[in-house]
């Protein structure tokens, strides 16, 4: 993309050239001004000159001298056009996560502080320690915050506000609170309590999550009946978190739960269109009072982690020729993300059954070696 008109009527220029750090961006009132700046920029690049940001008042980048102004600049030229910037009917007060995190950093350093003074390695390290020691943020949450600051740094470099970029401080590895999966007994206990409370809808919701690994709540509540087949569920890019369409298996247990939901909600566009985030949170709080072992590590999203963990460690899938890449695709993960769900074989009995299953699989395949995932 070089020049395009935004929804506000201004003209956004965006270009990446070899030898210059990051992308160069600027916003102009007219298309002619944007084209003139592009010609000058390409000429400077051909002559080996450094990038020179526009200085006229029509450029948003030129006016973004403070860290607060730079946050608003990044919102206008980058974050406002992204899918996650669209309002959520259940949470109309929520904003784009990177825009929010960048704003928190600007508030911490002072929104009127010059960007050149705010975007230093020392300041970012100090802010990361503040998030860890004062706010109590997890390493993964701090990584999200520094990711937003990294976008600000790229924009500041492109605008000439700072001389160059630096690497964000690394965070030590730590367990995410939501990365908790349920054992079969724990899952049964939660489901039985749901039935005792007369909450069949939530019972079947949790069954489908544990069987299919669809992300709650946004993916599953937008899933239409048209995308559910007898043995397969299609999560289209329009509702997928990653923006990539994926297909995953629909087990008999999941299909039975979906049929029960259809009987209770005839005429609905999808099985879980009734799901409201606030109501789910309220019900889960109620469950925590009845199931004593439920704590901050156990959330409804853990049912998805349960499905991903079971798939990653299911030897029968490997014996049937289901590869790591296929399981990662079902989960909507990269291979690297998927590996964190794999548990190594440790017990002697596990190795005995493992060898036996491998021999049986090879015999069924006529001596051919099938891929083995775990």
Listed by start position, the domains of the chain span 1-63, 65-174, 184-307, 313-374
Query: Has residue 22 got a pLDDT over 90?
Result: no
Domain 65-174 has CATH 3.40.50.150: no
342-351: average pLDDT:
66
Query: Has residue 25 got a pLDDT over 80?
Result: no
Six-digit token pair at 45?
């690049």
348 pLDDT tier (thresholds 50, 70, 90) = low
Biggest CA pair distance of the chain = 76
199 pLDDT tier (thresholds 50, 70, 90) = very high
Cα–Cα distances in Å, from 329 out to 120, 239, 249, 313?
39, 16, 11, 15
Residue pair 218/300 in contact (Cβ under 8 Å)? The answer is: no
Residue pair 70/152 in contact (Cβ under 8 Å)? The answer is: yes
CA–CA gap between residue 181 and residue 320 (Å, rounded): 24
160-165: average pLDDT:
81
**Per-residue pLDDT tens digits for 59-102:** 444 445 789 989 988 888 888 877 655 655 555 546 788 899 99
The average confidence (pLDDT) of the chain is 82
For the whole model, what pTM was predicted? 0.58
**Per-residue pLDDT tens digits for 297-327:** 788 999 999 999 999 888 788 778 888 899 9
Of residues 300, 211, 206, 305, the one with CA closest to residue 249: 211
pLDDT on residue 13 = 75
**Per-residue pLDDT tens digits for 169-187:** 887 665 444 457 899 999 9
pLDDT on residue 61 = 45
Q: What is the dotted CATH code of the domain comprising 184-307?
A: 1.10.443.10
DSSP code of residue 4: E
Classify 25 as helix, strand or coil. strand
């Amino acid at each position: 993309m070089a020049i395009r008109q935004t929804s506000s009527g201004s003209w956004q220029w965006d270009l990446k050239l070899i030898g210059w750090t990051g992308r160069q961006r600027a916003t102009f009132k007219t298309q002619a001004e944007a084209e003139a700046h592009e010609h000058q920029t390409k000429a400077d690049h051909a002559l080996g000159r450094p990038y020179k940001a526009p200085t006229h008042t029509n450029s948003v980048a030129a006016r973004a001298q403070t860290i607060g102004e730079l946050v608003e600049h990044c919102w206008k030229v980058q974050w406002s056009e992204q899918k996650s910037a669209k309002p959520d009917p259940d949470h109309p007060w929520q904003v784009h996560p990177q825009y929010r995190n960048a704003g928190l950093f600007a508030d911490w350093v002072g929104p009127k502080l010059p960007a050149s003074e705010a975007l230093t390695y020392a300041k970012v390290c100090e802010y990361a320690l503040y998030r860890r020691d004062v706010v109590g943020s997890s390493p993964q949450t701090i990584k999200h915050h520094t990711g937003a600051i990294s976008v600000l740094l790229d924009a500041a470099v492109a605008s000439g506000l700072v001389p160059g970029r630096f690497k964000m401080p690394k965070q030590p590895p730590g367990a995410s609170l939501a990365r908790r999966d349920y054992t079969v007994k724990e899952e049964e206990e939660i489901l039985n309590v749901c039935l005792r409370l007369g909450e069949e809808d939530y019972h079947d919701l949790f069954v489908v999550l544990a069987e299919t690994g669809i992300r709650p709540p946004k993916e599953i509540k937008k899933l239409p009946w048209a995308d559910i087949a007898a043995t397969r569920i299609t999560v289209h890019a329009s509702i997928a978190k990653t923006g990539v369409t994926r297909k995953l298996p629909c087990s008999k247990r999941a299909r039975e739960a979906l049929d029960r939901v259809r009987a209770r909600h005839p005429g609905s566009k999808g099985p879980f269109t009734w799901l409201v985030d606030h109501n789910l949170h309220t019900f889960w709080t109620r469950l925590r009072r009845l199931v004593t072992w439920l704590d901050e590590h156990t959330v409804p999203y853990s049912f998805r982690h349960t499905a991903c963990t079971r798939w990653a460690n299911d030897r029968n899938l490997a014996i049937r020729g289901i590869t790591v890449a296929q399981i990662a695709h079902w989960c909507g993960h990269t291979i690297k993300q998927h590996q964190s769900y794999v548990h190594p074989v440790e017990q002697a009995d596990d190795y005995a059954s493992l060898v036996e299953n491998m021999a049986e699989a090879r015999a069924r395949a006529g001596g051919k070696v099938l891929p083995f995932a775990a």
